[in-house]
Amino acid sequence: MTTKQMQNLPSVRGKYLFDEPMRRHTWLGVGGEAEVMFLPEDEADLQYFLRNKPQNLPVFILGGGSNLLVRDGGIKGITIKLQNKNFAQWRIENNLLICGAGMQNFALKNILPENNIGGLEFLCSIPGTIGGAFRSNAGCFGCELAQVLHHAKIMNGQGDILEITPEQFGFAYRHSDFPSDWIILEADLTTITKKSEEIIAQIKQNEDYRKEHQPQGIRTAGSTFKNPQEKAAWKLIKESGGAEMIIGGAKMSAQHCNFLEVSDNARATDVEKLCENIMKAVKTKFDVSLELEIKCVGQK
């Protein structure tokens, strides 16, 4: 960001954080700094910023940081995070659960049984925020966001607010055609009437499965690679020798080798290099191109 751009940042009601360590905002806890992080007060504050910011100022939208790797050189320009409670409100209308983009997915663990609405139990165990689930069409246990999304309210890079249908997102397996300047404001999610005890039991069953099959209590970003059609990613990693690779403070979990594990001294460079080495090993042995489920951003 140039000195002129810095001086011409619009006066907002929210907060600007300068040289903000991104390790505080991601589950991996590595990487450099956000040159400027903007925490808008509400939709109007966000809209005012977008319509008055310096031209050609790079903007990055940060969700919950659960599947994000920020490189050691950090993120230039403005990083926007919808952290204020005004972006985490919810309500029920016509069998739709309308959630603010800043709501943490785990908050659904209480909302669903207390209101006897089901169909969204899978979202409870996905790390991060409602808004963050859009870019990768997050899913688990045979369900994904695309199946329950009725429509969404977004703000584009010009500050215009639009209603978007699922078809306009171009959802596919762990993918969406999500324009980089779109900011999710609200998601309208389809629900079904369900008994509270059934909802609680389903959520617990999902949690128990994760505890049994996936690593707990470590710094990770969940599944590292998407599952290709040929074979499960973890099998390809294991059979190619990738499960035993260690780069600096980064390695794959002994419990589930499609889950990264980073130590306190790890750098983003370690993580990215490990991923690259595993992808090369799988390509060499099986002629299969693994694709990252983790998103890598920022300067090396």
Q: How many CA atoms lie within 13 A of 60 on its CB side?
A: 22
Give the chain's mean pLDDT. Answer: 93
State percent of the chain over pLDDT 90: 79
Q: Is the pLDDT of residue 7 over 80?
A: no
- Token representation of residue 37: 């992080």
Write down the residue that tokens 């306190």 correspond to. Answer: 264
Q: CB count, 10 Å around CB of 96?
A: 17
- pLDDT given at position 21: 97
Residues 81-91, mean pLDDT to the nearest whole number: 96
Q: How many CA atoms lie within 13 A of 121 on its CB side?
A: 24
- pLDDT given at position 68: 94
Which phi and psi angles does 59 have, rounded to 5°? -130, 130
Surface-to-core class of residue 252, CB atoms within 10 Å of its CB (0-12 exposed, 13-18 middle, 19+ buried): buried
Surface-to-core class of residue 257, CB atoms within 10 Å of its CB (0-12 exposed, 13-18 middle, 19+ buried): buried
Give the chain's domains with CATH numbers.
Answer: 8-85 (3.30.43.10), 88-213 (3.30.465.10), 233-297 (3.90.78.10)
Cα distances from 227 to residues 115, 121, 169, 173, 251, in angstroms, run 35, 22, 21, 9, 19
Instruction: Please tell me the distance from the alpha carbon of residue 133 to that of residue 122, in angstroms, as a whole number.
Output: 12
DSSP tag of 265: T
Instruction: Please tell me the distance from the alpha carbon of residue 30 to that of residue 69, in angstroms, as a whole number.
Output: 7
Per-residue pLDDT of 257-298, as tens digits, reads 999 999 999 999 999 999 999 999 999 999 999 999 999 999
- pLDDT given at position 270: 97
Instruction: Please tell me the distance from the alpha carbon of residue 135 to that of residue 175, in angstroms, as a whole number.
Output: 6
Contact status, residue 118 vs residue 193, Cβ threshold 8 Å: yes
Q: Is the pLDDT of residue 103 over 80?
A: yes
Per-residue confidence band for 179, with pLDDT thresholds at 50, 70 and 90: confident
Indicate the residue type of 8. Answer: N
Instruction: Please tell me the distance from the alpha carbon of residue 103 to that of residue 75, in angstroms, as a whole number.
Output: 24
Residues 205-213, mean pLDDT to the nearest whole number: 88
- pLDDT given at position 216: 82
Contact status, residue 251 vs residue 259, Cβ threshold 8 Å: no
Which phi and psi angles does 239 have, rounded to 5°? -75, -15
- pLDDT given at position 35: 96
Contact status, residue 262 vs residue 270, Cβ threshold 8 Å: yes
Instruction: Please tell me the distance from the alpha carbon of residue 218 to that of residue 239, in angstroms, as a whole number.
Output: 24
Residues annotated as catalytic are: 174, 223, 293
DSSP tag of 270: H
Residues 221-236, mean pLDDT to the nearest whole number: 91
Mean pLDDT check: name the lowest of 29-33, 210-214, 239-243. 210-214
Q: Is the pLDDT of residue 209 over 80?
A: yes
135 against 114, higher pLDDT: 114
Q: What is the pTM of this model?
A: 0.90
- pLDDT given at position 247: 97
Cα distances from 186 to residues 13, 64, 97, 171, in angstroms, run 21, 15, 10, 17
Instruction: Please tell me the distance from the alpha carbon of residue 181 to that of residue 104, in angstroms, as a whole number.
Output: 22
Residue 190 bridge partners (DSSP): 96
Write down the residue that tokens 């972006």 correspond to. Answer: 87
Which phi and psi angles does 255 have, rounded to 5°? -80, -35
